[in-house]
Amino acid sequence: MTSIIETENLTKVFRGKVRAVDGVTFDVKKGEIFGLLGPNGAGKSTLIRLLCTLTRPTSGTAKVVGFDVVKEANDVRKHIGLVAEKMIMYNHLTAYENLLLFGKLHNVPKETLTKRIDDLLELVQMSKWRNTRVGDFSTGMRQKINVIRGLIHMPELLFLDEPSLGLDPQSSVDIRELTQKLNDEHGVTIILTTHYMDEADMLSDRIALVDHGKIAALGTPAELKKQVSGSDTVILDVNICNLAPEIVAGIKSLECVDKVLAEKPNELKIFARGQGSVDNIIDVVRSNGGKIDMIKNVEPSLEDVFLKITGRKAEEKTIRGNNEGRRRPWSGGFH
């Protein structure tokens, strides 16, 4: 398969010191859904902005749809669609007018444009709202218009930046189905950033875990999970009704235990490896007077992969301590 994105040592440094994207090299194949996963401030948005020609790399190169993002920016722009985290639409204009404006700016011929707008509205079942102002829509409806707006010029490559952020469950499902449909039926290559692990898991053909501006791991969801649940690793959910600090300390001190997390009250998530590790854990809990209500072996999720690789949770809002933990100026999208 041919590559639609090729980057080499792509780097973006802000204000001479903050390395938002730090020497990233990767390929995206034509026709795949490629997930970019990582906590806020990991550099996902900056990476997307670099690939969309919205910001210039400090060093390194990127080719998108065969064109250089700096030297041939306008050629790149002709072939890509962007659905940014901040919706690109004007509330005072109707759905039709918003689509018309961006169709015109992408030089879509007059004859095809009207039909295409109607087709796209049909695709997201919004035909009857064609002449309603976008400002009167619910967030879910607006997001649908926002997505098809990015498709108005039939791009080969679509960037979907946090498409289901802030949507109700039904709308999220709709957007996910739409994403899948675009990829399956229309052959659009999709770059999806999200920090919803299950969304990335469900949709992506391959996933890059982004952390500290670098790609920490890259592979299919199955490959990534194998890194966690490799040969002898087990993940246990243990429910202890009289959970006490001594019990946790006891489990942590075991040699076979990699990591212990307290996610809910009275519930522990334990990463362990090696033969007989389950037995050892149960022994420690009992010897400390703990009562086990339930114990179950869980399939690793991408969350676990992320945890294992970075030692942190992906959905936490502020990941970095000290001065890097401030909300960075570009994390909000445009700057």
Partner 1 sequence: MGVKQELSNALWITWKDLMELRRSKLRMAMMILMPVIMMAMISFIFPSSSNVLNSIPVATVNNDIGLQGSYLLGTLTSISALNNTLAFKNAASFEEAKDKIIQGEASGAIIIPENFSETLKNQNYTANIIVLIDDSNPQISQMLSQILIQAINGMSQAQAVMNVSGYAQQRQVNPVSIIVPYSAKYQGVSGSGGSYIEFMIPGLLMMTMITSVMTGLPRAIAYERDVGTLSGFLVAPIHRISIIAGKVLGHVIQGLIQGVSSLILAILLFGITIHGNILWVLLTLFLGVFSFVGLGIVLTSVAEDEQTASMIMMTLTMPMLFLSGIFFPIQMMPSFMQTIAYCLPFTYAIDAIRRIMIFGVALTSVGVDLLVMISFGVVMLLIAIPTFNRAMTR
List interacting residues with partner 1 (CB under 8 A).
52-56, 74-75, 77-78, 80, 82, 84-90, 92-93, 97, 101-102, 104-107, 133, 149, 333-335
Instruction: Give the nearest distance from C-beta 53 to partner 1 in angstroms.
Output: 7
Residue 117 or 305 with smaller CB distance to partner 1:
117
Residue 160 or 197 with smaller CB distance to partner 1:
160
Instruction: Give the nearest distance from C-beta 86 to partner 1 in angstroms.
Output: 3
Cα separation, 191 vs 12, whole angstroms: 19
- Separation in Å, CA 44 to CA 70, 184, 215: 19, 25, 10
The answer to whether 176 and 203 have CB atoms below 8 angstroms apart is yes
Residue 101 or 216 with smaller CB distance to partner 1:
101
Cα separation, 49 vs 213, whole angstroms: 13
Instruction: Give the nearest distance from C-beta 142 to partner 1 in angstroms.
Output: 12
Instruction: Give the nearest distance from C-beta 57 to partner 1 in angstroms.
Output: 10
Residue 102 or 306 with smaller CB distance to partner 1:
102
- Separation in Å, CA 138 to CA 83, 101, 171, 287: 17, 21, 10, 55
The answer to whether 303 and 314 have CB atoms below 8 angstroms apart is yes
List strand residue ranges (DSSP E) for 31-145, in order. Answer: 33-37, 59-64, 67-68, 80-83
Instruction: Give the nearest distance from C-beta 324 to partner 1 in angstroms.
Output: 20
Positive or negative: CA dihedral 283, 285, 291, 292: negative
Residue 20 or 248 with smaller CB distance to partner 1:
20
Instruction: Give the nearest distance from C-beta 296 to partner 1 in angstroms.
Output: 43
Instruction: Give the nearest distance from C-beta 72 to partner 1 in angstroms.
Output: 11
Burial of residue 192 (number of CB atoms within 10 Å: 0-12, 13-18, 19+): buried
HSE value, Cβ hemisphere, 13 Å, CA-based, for 102: 28
- Separation in Å, CA 171 to CA 129, 213, 300: 16, 30, 27
Residue 85 or 156 with smaller CB distance to partner 1:
85
Residue 49 or 176 with smaller CB distance to partner 1:
49
Instruction: Give the nearest distance from C-beta 145 to partner 1 in angstroms.
Output: 12
Residue 276 or 332 with smaller CB distance to partner 1:
332
- Separation in Å, CA 288 to CA 138, 224, 250, 262, 292: 53, 35, 8, 17, 11
Residue 51 or 272 with smaller CB distance to partner 1:
51
Beta bridge partners of 87: none
Instruction: Give the nearest distance from C-beta 144 to partner 1 in angstroms.
Output: 16
The answer to whether 229 and 273 have CB atoms below 8 angstroms apart is no
User: DSSP characters for 168-189?
Assistant: -HHHHHHHHHHHHHHHHHH--E
Beta bridge partners of 204: none
